[in-house]
């Protein structure tokens, strides 16, 4: 709580100093509109810090670093509790696409373990099941591109309904990778 008080006092002094400078004979640093906007932003910042201090599940040890992280909108680990995180705009768009369901799937349930993309199971009656996917198949490439993450695999496999995708897998008991074409 002491850090919070120090931060709020610092913000208050910064805002006050802007008014003192403007009162001297020098031209104002900020226009009246800019000063009002700055003061409103400062109020929001103070409320934000107070909210974090009161309600955070895992209180940050360094409030200033936490606020900096939030303003930078990055996952730096300074203030995120284990139940929240920042999602970049491109990932938000991808998640919204997933929710809308405006894509064709081939019917594979996938997982990732130690950087390896593994088929959990093909879903009955789907193109993946008809093509011959089996549980524990390891996905190596999709349309000739090496797969490095689960999100990337899903993004590469997904396409318009009725489309075609070539997936290179490694199957237990096989000596060579196998290419499966799903339509």
d(CA 112, CA 125): 24
- pLDDT, residue 140, reads 92
d(CA 57, CA 65): 17
The residue with greater pLDDT, 26 or 173, is 173
Provide the CA 19 distance to its chain's centre, in angstroms.
39
The pLDDT tens digits for 49-107 are: 787 777 776 677 777 777 776 666 555 555 555 555 566 677 777 666 655 544 457 88
d(CA 78, CA 60): 7
39-45-47-48 Cα dihedral, nearest 10 degrees: 160
Cβ atoms of 30 and 38 closer than 8 Å? yes
DSSP notation for 10-28:
HHHHHHHHHHHHHHSSSPP
Q: Map out the domains of the chain with their CATH numbers.
A: 2-86 (no CATH), 104-182 (2.30.42.10)
**Helix locations, the chain, DSSP H:** 2-23, 32-55, 63-72, 89-100, 127-131, 150-157
- pLDDT, residue 106, reads 84
- Please give the DSSP secondary-structure letter assigned to residue 176: S
Beta bridge partners of 108: 122
Confidence band, pLDDT 50/70/90 cuts, at residue 17: low
The pLDDT tens digits for 107-124 are: 888 888 888 888 888 888
């Amino acid at each position: 709580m002491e850090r919070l008080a120090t931060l709020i006092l610092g913000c208050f002094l910064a805002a006050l100093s802007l008014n003192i400078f403007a009162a001297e004979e020098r031209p104002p640093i900020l226009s009246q509109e800019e000063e009002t906007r700055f003061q409103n932003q400062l109020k929001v910042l103070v409320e934000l810090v107070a909210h974090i201090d009161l309600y955070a599940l895992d209180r940050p040890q360094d409030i200033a670093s936490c606020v900096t992280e939030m303003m930078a909108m990055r996952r730096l680990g300074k203030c995120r509790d284990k139940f929240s995180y920042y999602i970049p705009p491109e990932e938000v768009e991808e998640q919204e696409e997933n929710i809308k369901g405006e894509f064709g799937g081939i019917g594979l349930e996938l997982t990732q373990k130690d950087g390896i993309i593994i088929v959990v199971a093909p879903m009955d009656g789907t193109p993946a099941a008809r093509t011959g996917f089996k549980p524990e198949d390891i996905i190596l490439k999709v349309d000739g591109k090496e797969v490095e993450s689960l999100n990337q695999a899903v993004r590469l496999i997904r396409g318009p309904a009725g489309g075609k995708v070539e997936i290179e897998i490694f199957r237990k008991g096989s000596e060579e990778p196998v290419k499966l074409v799903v339509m």
